[in-house]
Structure 1
């Protein structure tokens, strides 16, 4: 199973440890999403190209991450990547905070929780 991550699960970010045993496939840009940050990053439907990292994960890793994301208010959606279909966790509520024009979480100074 593939997942596409754009925020705190990316390399060098606080939750990346959940992916330590997963296979990194590479980076991509997903059309149709904007990125907002208000402590946490939010991918919402929009007009941009969201920068993501794509991983192959086992079922246990997927279930652990999915539980965290869904409990935080995100929903899993299928997206197309250059590596094939992947799950991305989308924010379907009104986003708060700042819109990140680059749509790349690396351009945000993460201040933590």
Structure 2
């Protein structure tokens, strides 16, 4: 199963260790999403684009990440990537915080939580 990550699960970010056993397929840009950062990064449907990393994960890894994301207020949705369909967790609440114009979490000075 493929997942698309855009924030703290990306390479070099605080939660990337969740993906240490997973196969990295590459990067892509997803159209129709805006990236915001409040305490955490989150994506909402919008007019922008979102930089993602695509991973092939096993069921156990998917369930662990999904449980964490859903409990934090995100909802899994399917998106099209150049590597095929993937699950991305979008924010289910109204956006607040700062919109990241570039759509790339690497452009944010993440202060952690």
TM-score (norm 2): 0.99
Distance 2:60 2:95 in 1: 29
Match of 1:13 in 2: 13
Q: What are the Cα deviations for residues 7-35 of structure 1, in whole angstroms up to 9, with x where unaligned?
A: 00000000000000000000000010000
Indicate whether 1:77 and 2:63 are aligned: no
RMSD: 0.5
Indicate whether 1:37 and 2:37 are aligned: yes
Matched ranges for 1:71-110 at <5 A: 71-110=71-110
TM-score (norm 1): 0.99
Detail structure 1 runs of 4+ shifted over 4 Å in the superposition: none
Distance 1:92 1:32 in 2: 15
Distance 2:62 2:48 in 1: 26
Distance 1:78 1:24 in 2: 18
User: Cα offset for 1:49?
Assistant: 1.1
